[in-house]
Structure 1
Amino acid sequence: MGIQKVLQVLLLVMVIMAGSVLPLKAFEPEPVLQGWLTVQDITIEGNLRTRRKVILSELPFSIGSTVNINELIGQIERGKENLMNTSLFNLVEIEFAYTDRRRIIFNITVKERWYLWAFPIFEQEGRNFSDFLRLNDGSYFNYGLYVKHDNFRGRRETLRLRMVTGYKKEFRFDYQKPGLNQQSGWGINFNWLWNDQVSYTTQNDKQVFLKTLGSRLLTKSDVEASYYYRHNLDHHHRVFLGYENVDAADTLMVSNPGFLSGGQNRSETLELGYQYTYDRRDSKVYPLSGQYFDVEFARRGFGVMSEYTGFFQLSATASYQRPLLNRLYSNTRGFMSAIDTGEAPYYFRTGLGYQDFLNGFEFYVIDGSSYGGVQNKLLYELIPRRNKTLQWIPLEQFSQFHYAFYLKLHFDAGYVLNDNRLPGNRMANTLLLGYGLGIDMVTFYDKVLSLNYSFNNFAEHGFFFQFNLSL
């Protein structure tokens, strides 16, 4: 017998003897982890700019807290969703490891976006891209300079400077410090606007514009201060106070004496309001599951800076998204707005087509004191999200690229209440229906491009484009 065989026999004998000596429990399998785990540590990689506390504030767990083992995967997914919804990162990964049967550590890896933008502006002016194509006579363009610093100082603050001329002359400065988890934040913005072309009335439910050859029709300046508070990740509160000064030229007031209150050329308005938002969606850009609710109550005009006493406005939005079958999703969104007066000056006009719209009515503005609507979408995930690395782009912030495509069927319904409807405007006080089909492309840096073919109950139909490319 060779020496190798001898060693093998001896090793087998030792194992058998050890089995007869060691207690049986030494060979029992490790018990399945149950109950609660204590978070021993959270490590973060890739946050070259972003402060550690900004990332920690988005997590549903913290160092020293406990996590139920049965909810571990759900908590990790929740953390990833929250971090992606900050719009600070192109990619987020969360891994974990057990240090023993009762403790766990998390490792978070992020890939940051590009935060500092400075580039010339050349953009269309209009409520949406489809309406711009309808109106375009070569003058509905703005050009200028845009500077934006996201994640300023690494604290998720936003600093924005915008200077444009062309269709309108505008100067805008914004600073926003959002409320982090269990913390408050604040913001301030200032805007100055000069126009030689202004929408001064509505005919046939479409805006009618007055244009001069370089002479001022309207100037506006406003400032707003906001205070934010956030708790339990999903609940957001905002209180805001604003001042607005509007000065209209005589030419504009002759065209529409009701453009400002009392036929006056100038309006000074104070605004005070409160906004509450509950956001529990998997994505703020293109949600496929979750719920959202937002309500805002504001007083616009107090009769302090001018004789105009103003009005109260209540607005609310709610949405519910959920998966139905494999790659099939439903999305329902409802909205409403109401003011406590039958008619406001045209400058403060409300209605469908300004902030909220219905598919199939992109060309229209339906003025009224109150309105509401429901938008329904049935989505099919044609191409699931695909992450690509563009090797020919040297900057990692742009080389990490993703996209997804969705087919959709949409059906919208709405109603606008207007007790003082102008002759020729037929869509207020009538049930509005829009429906059709389309395709959406969702890509990086929170961009969504939509192409729809829509119909409405006024026997109109056509292709409509929606780009969320506003700066």
Structure 2
Amino acid sequence: MPGICVIRRFGLLAFFFFCSLLSFLYAEPLELQDTKLTVQDIEISGNYKTRQQVILSELPFAIGSSIEMMDLMVVTERAKENLLNTSLFNSVEISFYYPDIHSVVFTIEVSERWYLWVFPIFENEGRNFSDFLRLNDGNFFNYGLYVKHDNFRGRKEVLKLRAVTGYKTQLVFGYRNPGLNNQSGWGIDAGWLWNDRVAYGTVDDKQVFLKTLGDRLLTTTNVTLSYYYRHNLDHYHSVFAGFMNIDAADTLLAYNPDMLPLQQSTSETITLGYNYMYDKRDSKIYPLKGLFIEAEIIREGFGLESDYEGFFRGRGAVAYHNRLGEKLYYNTRGFVSLVDLDKVPYIFRTGLGYEEYLNGFEFRVIDGTSYGGLQSKLLYELIPRKDIRLKWMPLEQFSHFHYAFYIKLHFDAGYVYNNFEQDVNRMANELLLGYGVGIDMLTFYDKVLSLNYSFNNFAEHGFYFHFNLTL
């Protein structure tokens, strides 16, 4: 029957059409997962002051580059981490869409921070906040004026001027023109420091201070020039040269004749160095995942008008961060510093408690020419990051607030070599162990506040506070 035949034919056509439609809807995306997409465009908004090139230099992709479809989420997350790690933005949102089956367009929306800071200074003077609380007798304060311009001219440059008095009198000027990805940059730092209270020695592994009634004990003038190069987002190279002039009063030298090279009252020295960093962490402020490697070699302290030849100092550090499970993280960091002399002038003193410290030893300085350490932490995410929009805040740069809390267990081990260990100090040339518990709070503008209760293997224990409020 003709009618039935027509119906059957249309039924077959409908069936094949439906099968073809299903094949298009389901088979094609699976095929595209192995397809490379070309970045057609990168749309950026919210950068009212930051130049577009600064943002583009942080991205792991560029217009015209090819990306595997299966890698889109990975490169998007990496781009977001890189932009947040610049400390230029409160928030970053990145999405993408497909203008056609062979192309992708990224959209980036940033919320800029406040960049110009002008405010009075009232700060503590100490190697760390816990040591300041221990020492404070009302004299360990500085006050003055601080001016800092982050993202100067919208180019990620940093310009700063600092003038303080109180515990110390100090003038500091700094300028940094950063090297963007695959580009070079340079910087200059200059400072002048006047002290009438100076640490001149170490007794019982604590600094001993000399204080006058307003008379100068030590004056320091320094200038450092640096040149740096960034390659493939994660590799940083820098070379630097510095000049330092130090003038010590006779009163200070009477307490410590070895304060300056060759027991002189005036020292003019040169420092030359090279630094390499590999930094592939999700955050530079509080990393939870990633790897960090640093190596540095310095020729320090050789004199311009004296016979002092100076010394070599080598320094290295490796840190690894990863996730153990839901809300559980761990990190391990090792560091070492080596000097090719058994003894250096006190002004160049090294050891634990200055640039590096161990938990449980915050009150101590362990002097020595060489040292090393291993630090491990186990972190539990107590409160994940909460982002809050402060609607009542008229300034957009301060309206984005966030916080997060982590509970931690920490264990540190270290050793300091001192070939001239004196009877008045007991911690050098001994195994140093520190351990305890703590809680960290992360909040906006890269601030981290820590409260720890720590022990060490010298039967010392107590609460220790740390926070990075320096701008």
Name the TM-score class by shorter chain: over 0.9
2:87 is the counterpart of 1:87: yes
Cα distance change on mapping 1:263 and 1:81 into 2, 3 Å: same
* Distance in 1 of aligned mates of 2:11 and 2:254: 106
Alignment of 1:88-103 (within 5 A): 88-103=88-103
Structure-2 separation of matches of 1:288 and 1:21: 53
Paired position in structure 2 for 1:8: none
SS at match of 1:72: helix
2:24 to 25, 29, 35: 29
Q: Is the 8 A contact 1:50 1:151 kept in 2?
A: yes
Partner of 1:351: 351
Shift of 1:26: 5.9
Structure 1 residue 433, shift from structure 2 partner: 0.2
Letter of the 2:222 counterpart: D
- What is the RMSD computed on CA atoms of the aligned residues? 1.5
CA distance in 2, matches of 1:240, 1:24: 68
Question: TM-score, normalization: structure 2?
Answer: 0.95
Q: Distance in 2 between matches of 1:414 and 1:191?
A: 33
Q: Measure how far apart 1:24 and its partner are.
A: 6.7
Asked if 1:165 is matched to 2:165, the reply is: yes
> Hey, what does 1:135 align to over in structure 2?
135
Which consecutive unaligned segments of at least 5 residues does structure 1 have? 1-14
SS of aligned partner of 2:98? strand
In 2, distance between residues paired with 1:400 and 1:453? 32
| 8 Å contact from structure 1 (residues 270, 305) kept in 2 | no
What aligned pairs does 1:60-459 form with structure 2 within 5 A after superposition? Answer: 60-459=60-459
The percentage of aligned residue pairs carrying the same residue is: 64
Q: CA deviation at 1:423?
A: 2.0
Alignment coverage as a number of residue pairs: 457
Q: Write the deviation string for residues 336-363 of structure 1: whole angstroms up to 9, x where unpaired.
A: 1011000000010000000000000000
User: Alpha-carbon deviation of 1:178?
Assistant: 1.1
C-alpha separation in 2, matches of 1:187 and 1:176: 4
**Within 1, Cα distance between the matches of 2:394 and 2:12?**
62
Residues 123-153 of structure 1 deviation map (CA, whole Å, 9 limit, x = unaligned): 0000001100111110000000000000000
What is the alpha-carbon distance in structure 2 between the residues aligned to residue 228 and residue 221 of structure 1? 23
State the AA in 2 paired with 1:265. S
Whole-angstrom distance in 2 between the partners of 1:260 and 1:154: 42
Q: Distance in 2 between matches of 1:21 and 1:413?
A: 71
Distance 1:20 1:320, change over 3 A: closer
Q: CA deviation at 1:470?
A: 2.0
Residue 20 and residue 141 in structure 1: after superposition, are their counterparts in 2 closer, same or farther (change >3 A)? closer
Contact 2:435 2:455 in 1 (8 A): yes
1:403/1:443 contact within 8 Å kept: yes
If the length of structure 1 is used for normalisation, what is the TM-score? 0.95
Distance 1:372 1:69 in 2: 45
Q: Which stretch shows the higher mean deviation, 205-214 or 16-25?
A: 16-25
Q: Which ranges in structure 2 are unaligned for 5 or more consecutive residues? A: 1-9
Distance 1:65 1:376 in 2: 40
For 1:433 and 1:22, locate their aligned partners in 2 and report how far apart those are by CA, in whole Å: 74
What residue number does 2:5 align with?
Answer: none
Tell me the amino acid that sits aligned with residue 139 of structure 1: N
SS in 1 for 2:77: helix
